[in-house]
Structure 1
Amino acid sequence: MTALDITSEDATLETAPTRYIEGRGIRFAYRRLGPSTGTPLVLLQHFSGNIDAWDPAVVNALAADRPVIAFNNAGVGRSSGQTPDNVAAMARDAVAFINALGFSEVDLLGFSLGGCIAQQIAAEHGRLVRKLILVGTAPKGGEEHLLAVLQEAFSQTDAPDPRLPLFFTKSSASQSSGLAFLKRTQVRKDDRDTDNGSAVTDPQAKALLTWCATPDPEHAMLRAIRQPTLVVSGSHDTMLPANNAYAMFKELSNAQLVLYPDSGHGALFQHNEIFVSHVRTFLNA
């Protein structure tokens, strides 16, 4: 059986074929998992990440009872086009992808930079987004330490992967969870996504830094979001600190807040089982 013989219902993140669809002149790469019916959950990825940077333990479990779509936005991985340097343009491209798939209503899970994009989409497209999950992210004008934390992580040459110091705390439990996460992301060997280097990371860094550097004293972006929202953060997120999560929780009109213990930016991967449980409960309510 080849990858293309696998149906969405049978597929996992490790086995699903990478498919392509065109929207706004961009050829988007994506993988679809889970049943064919139900409100699709669209995943919006973190800074520098592609489809294969998602944790199969999270994606596969979420796809057990709902359609889940992981995709590369413009210029990322195998998607064509140029990666924009601002969140608003990234949001327009993501909406073009959702429209190309023919979805009239979706749930969004935005992680890190993806959470900024998810906020923009939810604020501008109230009818398109049913529910919103914001993980390890920040509001407009929020606190970020991206460049300093990246520099420190890449200076740790003994780390097997920079995501280990970036996403996990220094505790033995968190580091062990981090190594398990890295192992899961490497299971897929064939048809893996591509890393497009600075052509992606430079504009994405500018987009994230600009988002956090742009004051929104009246919280207009958050107050435009009327959808039920689940806000999630790790207790020791060094990139986009947890006080961002609390700030969003306070200003959103209909939000729940979850903080995970002894965890960093990758709290959803470290605490994958309880994270999936919380997401399911939230989406099914």
Structure 2
Amino acid sequence: MTYTHETAPTQYVEANGIRFAYRRFGKPGGMPLVFNQHYTGTMDYWDPAVTDGLAQSREVILFNNAGVSNSSGETPSSFQEMGANALAFIRALGLKQVDVLGISIGGFVAQEIALQGGDFVRKLILVGTGHRGNDMTASRSAEIFAGSYDPPEHLWLAVHFKPTETSRKAGLAFIERKLSRRDRDPEVSEQTVAAQGEAIGKWITPGENALDYLKSIKQPTLIVQGSDDAIIPTIHSLTLQQNLPNAQLIIYPDSGHGSIYQYPELFVAHARLFLGA
């Protein structure tokens, strides 16, 4: 049986004393691509148009990191620890090498996986994310997450999409796709929300040499961003591209934090080209 985003069973593996929940589907035999999720997200927050699109040419691995949703343990309060847990999970699957994708704070975790994993990580895709010590004064995240939404799911319209007609239309289509799976993960706990928030505070703390660590991420990196990201300002993706040793940047028009959900087919084409090169 060939599994998809909607039908892949939730499995579990133990590592670092944690029981990680994960789903694995797609074309076997190639380089697996491991996905790292955004703030308060679970495996069900990914866009099936992206995951199934990429699964046509490779194996896709979705997982909930420590303490998130149906994974055991507590969510740590630093992205360094989250990266270490993610690496332990990936190694527990018996994989020899992987590609890694991260969106938003999942991009922070993905950078840590690349730093700590070395050659175990072949290539990196960073979406709607930033670097350590990034200036978040232009971010509208506090305002957006404090807002009231009816239905509540429309929070993710405000997070991932621009308030233009075309972007909002794409956002409504994304939400419909996102809710297509019936066997869904539990939402994250208050402990996870608080720990992720604390980790964000540590990550964005200014430092004189905050960008130095990027020189140690030598994996080929594809950075993808929207033209006006309300959560992690778009300028930080340019800073990433200029400071990573081997990075390229794509900025999609009329789009925000969730640019890959607004342009899923285009992103899948770009990602497959990058990963296959």
TM-score (norm 2): 0.95
Output one character per residue of 1:9-66: Cα deviation in whole Å (capped at 9) or x when no partner.
x111111100101111100000001122111100011111000000000000000010
Say whether the 8 Å CA contact 1:159–1:165 is kept in structure 2. no
Q: Tell me the percent identity.
A: 45
Kindly report which structure 2 residues correspond to 1:48-87, keeping only aligned pairs within 5 A, or say none.
48-87=40-79
Residue identity opposite 2:263 in structure 1: H
Letter in 2 for 1:109: L
State the one-letter code of the partner of 1:268: I
- Look up the equivalent residue of 1:194 and give its one-letter code: P
Preserved CA contact (<8 Å) 2:134 2:236: yes
1:77 deviates by 1.4
Letter in 2 for 1:93: N
How far did 1:220 drift? 2.0
Question: Structure 1 stretch 96-105 or stretch 143-152: which is displaced more?
Answer: 143-152
Q: Structure 2: state its 5+ residue gaps.
A: none
Report deviation, 1:209.
2.2
What is the Cα-based RMSD across aligned positions, in Å?
Answer: 1.6
C-alpha distance in structure 1 between counterparts of 2:96 and 2:170, whole Å:
37
Residues 66-75 or 115-124, more deviating: 115-124
Change (3 A) 1:15 1:203: same
CA–CA distance in structure 2, aligned partners of residues 156 and 277 of structure 1:
35
**2: CA distance, partners of 1:197 / 1:168:** 25
Q: Which amino acid aligns with 1:188?
A: R
Cα gap change, 1:258 to 1:194, in 2 (>3 Å): same
In 2, the alpha carbon distance for the partners of 1:206 and 1:237 equals 21
The one-letter code sitting in structure 2 at the alignment partner of 1:138 is G
Distance (whole Å) between structure 2 residues aligned to residue 233 and residue 41 of structure 1: 19
Name the CA distance, whole Å, in 2 between partners of 1:75 and 1:21.
14
- 1:102, distance to aligned residue in structure 2 (A): 0.7
Change over 3 Å in CA distance of 1:139–1:65 after alignment to 2: same
Q: Distance in 2 between matches of 1:265 and 1:227?
A: 23
Map of 1:124-163 to 2, 5 A cutoff? 124-144=116-136, 148-158=140-150, 160-161=152-153, 162-163=155-156
Name the residue aligned to 2:111: 119
User: In the alignment, what sits opposite 1:255?
Assistant: 247
Q: How many residues align?
A: 276
Structure 1: runs of 5 or more not aligned: 1-6
Counterpart for residue 224 of structure 1:
216
Change (3 A) 1:216 1:227: farther
Partner of 1:88: 80
- Cα distance, 1:196 vs. partner? 2.3
State the distance in 1 between where 2:38 and 2:138 align.
12
Residues 12-27 of structure 1: pairs in structure 2 closer than 5 A: 12-27=4-19
Which residue does the alignment assign to 1:187? 180
C-alpha contact (below 8 Å) 1:145/1:238 kept by paired residues: no
Q: TM-score, normalised by structure 1?
A: 0.93
| Paired letter, 1:119 | Q
Cα deviation for residue 120 of structure 1 reads 1.2
